[in-house]
C-alpha cells in the first residue's frame, strides 16, 4: 500500500527540513509531497536539496499562485490520485502535528475510510496555544457540529488520513472553501457521502518557529461557509 503525506507550505524554511526528516525517520514506507506556494523565503529550494537525500520518496510541487490552503491540498490530492497512492495524509509543516502519530492515523484508517487526528475527542489536548485561540478553535468546532449535524468533535482538524476512495468520490472540483473552512467542507462532504470517519486523540502543539497563517478572513470564510454548506445540503445542491 502506497502512503503519501502532503505538507502544504508558505514561508516554512525554519521547519521544512526538520519535519521531512522526522517523517522519514519513522522508517515506515511514507512518501512526502510538499506543495509550496512559491514561498519567498526559499522553502522550495530547501526541499529540492533534500530530494537528493530522499530520491523517489520526496516530491515537490511549486504553485505559482497563493490562493488558500484548500487549493494547495486539492492540487496535492489530485497528484496523489494520479500517482496511485492508496492512503493520503494531511499534515502541517510546523510540528503542531507530531509525525509519530502518522501511523496511528494509518492504523485507524484500516477500519474506516477517513481518520482524523483530533484535539477534542478526549477533552482539550492543546499545548502552548493562547487561551483565546483555544476557545476560538474549540467553540468553532462546536458551532460546526451544531449547524451541520456531523458527529465529529474536531471539525477544523488538519491532521487527516484519507483512503483513496474518499478523494475519488468526494468531488474535489466542487470544494469551494479555501482556508480552514476547507477542512470543515472535506469532513462534511465525506460524512454526507456515507464514509466512515473516526477520530484519533492526539496532542496538538503550537508552532515554535515561523508565523501562523491564521487571519480574520479565514475565520469569516469558515463561519459563513458553514452556513452555505448547510443551505446547499438542504436544497440538494451539495
pLDDT in tens, 134-162: 888 888 888 999 999 999 999 999 999 99
Q: Is the pLDDT of residue 216 over 80?
A: no
pLDDT in tens, 22-65: 999 998 899 999 999 999 999 999 999 999 999 999 999 999 98
Q: What is the mean pLDDT of residues 14-24?
A: 97
Domains recognised in the chain with CATH numbers? 3-234 (3.90.550.10)
* 218 — pLDDT class (breaks 50, 70, 90): low
CA neighbor of 219 nearest in space, from 136, 126, 163, 150: 136
- Give me the DSSP letters along 161-186: EEEHHHHHHS-GGG----STHHHHHH
Averaged pLDDT, 215-222:
64
pLDDT for 212 equals 61
What is the predicted pLDDT for the residue at 228?
86
What's the mean per-residue pLDDT of the chain? Answer: 92
Decide if pLDDT at 77 tops 90: yes
186 and 77 Cβ atoms separated by less than 8 Å: no
Q: Tens digit of pLDDT for each residue in 101-116? A: 999 999 999 999 999 9
- In this predicted structure, what is the pLDDT of residue 92? 96
Sequence-distant (≥ 6) Cβ neighbours of residue 171 within 8 angstroms: 189
Contact between 188 and 141 (Cβ < 8 Å): no
User: Which residues, at least 6 apart from 218, have a Cβ–Cβ distance to it below 8 Å?
Assistant: 179, 180, 181
- What is the Cα–Cα distance from 103 to 100, expressed in whole angstroms? 7
Handedness of CA 62, 75, 183, 226 (dihedral sign): positive
Amino acid at each position: 500500500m502506497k502512503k503519501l503525506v502532503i505538507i502544504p507550505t508558505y514561508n516554512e524554511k525554519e521547519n521544512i527540513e526538520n519535519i521531512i526528516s522526522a517523517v522519514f525517520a519513522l522508517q515506515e514506507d511514507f512518501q512526502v509531497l510538499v506543495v509550496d506556494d512559491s514561498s519567498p523565503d526559499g522553502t522550495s529550494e530547501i526541499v529540492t536539496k533534500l530530494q537528493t537525500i530522499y530520491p523517489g520518496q520526496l516530491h515537490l510541487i511549486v504553485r505559482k499562485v497563493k490562493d488558500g490552503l484548500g487549493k494547495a491540498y486539492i492540487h496535492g490530492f489530485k497528484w496523489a490520485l494520479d500517482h496511485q497512492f492508496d492512503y493520503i495524509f494531511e499534515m502541517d509543516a510546523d510540528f503542531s502535528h507530531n509525525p509519530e502519530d502518522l501511523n496511528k492515523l494509518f492504523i485507524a484508517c484500516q477500519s474506516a475510510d477517513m481518520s482524523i487526528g483530533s484535539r477534542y475527542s478526549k477533552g482539550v489536548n492543546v499545548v502552548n496555544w493562547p487561551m483565546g485561540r483555544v476557545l476560538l478553535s474549540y467553540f468553532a468546532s462546536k458551532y460546526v457540529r451544531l449547524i451541520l449535524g456531523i458527529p465529529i468533535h474536531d471539525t477544523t482538524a488538519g491532521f487527516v488520513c484519507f483512503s483513496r476512495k474518499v478523494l475519488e468520490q468526494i468531488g474535489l472540483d466542487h470544494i469551494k472553501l479555501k482556508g480552514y473552512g476547507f477542512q470543515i467542507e472535506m469532513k462534511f462532504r465525506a460524512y454526507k457521502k456515507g464514509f466512515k470517519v473516526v477520530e484519533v486523540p492526539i496532542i496538538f502543539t503550537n508552532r515554535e518557529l515561523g508565523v501562523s497563517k491564521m487571519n480574520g478572513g479565514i475565520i469569516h470564510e469558515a463561519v459563513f461557509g458553514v452556513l452555505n454548506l448547510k443551505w446547499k445540503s438542504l436544497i440538494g445542491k451539495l
